[in-house]
Amino acid sequence: MHNAQPWRFQYTRSNGTFSLFADLTRAMPHSDPTARGLHIGCGAALFNLRVAASHIGLRPVTRLLPDPAVPELLATVRLDEPADRTDGLALLYPAVHDRHSSRAPFADRRIPDEVRQALSEAAHQESATLALPTGSHLQTVLDLINDAEGYDHMDAAREAETEQWARSATDEAAVDGVPEYAFGPLKRGGSAPARDFAGRVPVNGRTRTVFEDRPQLALLSTAQDEPADWLRAGQALERVLLIATLHGLSSSFATQALEWPDLRWVLRDPLSGTGQVQMVVRLGYGPTGPQTPRRPVAHVLTVED
């Protein structure tokens, strides 16, 4: 969330195991007080580790929250041989480098059914569900995001938190946060939701443009709403995004309504009424987003014997 990268990996050579820890100094107490979003981000990073292990021919054996006494220890991944080629992980590897959030407008071109099916299967493989709402449900989701933006504007502490992670064009040394070049254009019209990281601060040379009128949003849900479910949701999110990337789709997020418990509750599918919505993803055909900074490996990985 906000490119905070709230994770720390430790690799132990003797047992060939990675431990993934939450870095709580990078939590967001105002927009993410339960650390649900933090777990989702770490789940996505965990999924990329599994993909990378498969890419080099090893089988990642993953355990979520292996030690209840240490809640910051989110997962362990033991690298076994040989890789299980049936889970499709290794095929996703190129997309790890190609996927970026794209906060630009997308074309009004419908995602074909077979691609929707592939995205939904990807979520299922990681014990989550993906739904692309239409009609009145889609309108409800858009209205709730709009309401959430209104709530956000009235919450100075939240706005300050977002601004704290926005990086100006001159901050070339930044290794985290959302850089100005990734903000995307200002919205002049259209109904697609886009979080504006600029807040109230004007950005030099930023264009205004019309976004798509019929955004294609996907709701990613899990059956329960515990920390392990958030980690599953993060892994499912990354699998969906990598498959989307391989199919030539761009993606961004609109999670504003998930950050207000009363609005999050109403987001759920009115027909099934089950499941806990964990992410709202905007998918479509459009420009690929720019690469954003990452913390150097030495900051996030320690290796011990």
Ligand X SMILES: Cc1cc2nc3c(=O)[nH]c(=O)nc-3n(C[C@H](O)[C@H](O)[C@H](O)COP(=O)(O)O)c2cc1C
> What is the contact surface with ligand X in residues (CB under 6 A)?
1-3, 37, 40-41, 100-101, 103, 178, 195, 252-256, 289, 292
Structure tokens that stand for 290 in this block: 């720019």
Of 27 and 118, nearer to ligand X (C-beta) is: 27
Of 103 and 137, nearer to ligand X (C-beta) is: 103
Of 117 and 168, nearer to ligand X (C-beta) is: 168
Structure tokens that stand for 259 in this block: 């950050």
Shortest reach from residue 210's CB to ligand X, in Å = 18
Structure tokens that stand for 231 in this block: 């980690």
How far are the Cα atoms of 216, 245, 270, 290 from residue 250, in angstroms, in the given order?
A: 11, 6, 27, 11
Say if residue 96 is exposed, middle or buried (CB neighbours under 10 Å; 0-12, 13-18, 19+): middle
Of 61 and 203, nearer to ligand X (C-beta) is: 203
Shortest reach from residue 204's CB to ligand X, in Å = 20
Of 18 and 253, nearer to ligand X (C-beta) is: 253
Secondary structure element (H or E) that encloses residue 277, with its range: strand 276-284
Amino acid identity, residue 235? Q
Of 5 and 76, nearer to ligand X (C-beta) is: 5
Closest by CA position to 150, among listed 214, 193, 99? 193
On whether the CB atoms of residues 55 and 37 are closer than 8 A, the answer is no
Shortest reach from residue 298's CB to ligand X, in Å = 20
HSE, side-chain direction, 13 A CA sphere, residue 7: 30
On whether the CB atoms of residues 7 and 20 are closer than 8 A, the answer is yes
Shortest reach from residue 1's CB to ligand X, in Å = 4
Rounded Cα–Cα distance for residues 233 and 217 (Å):
16
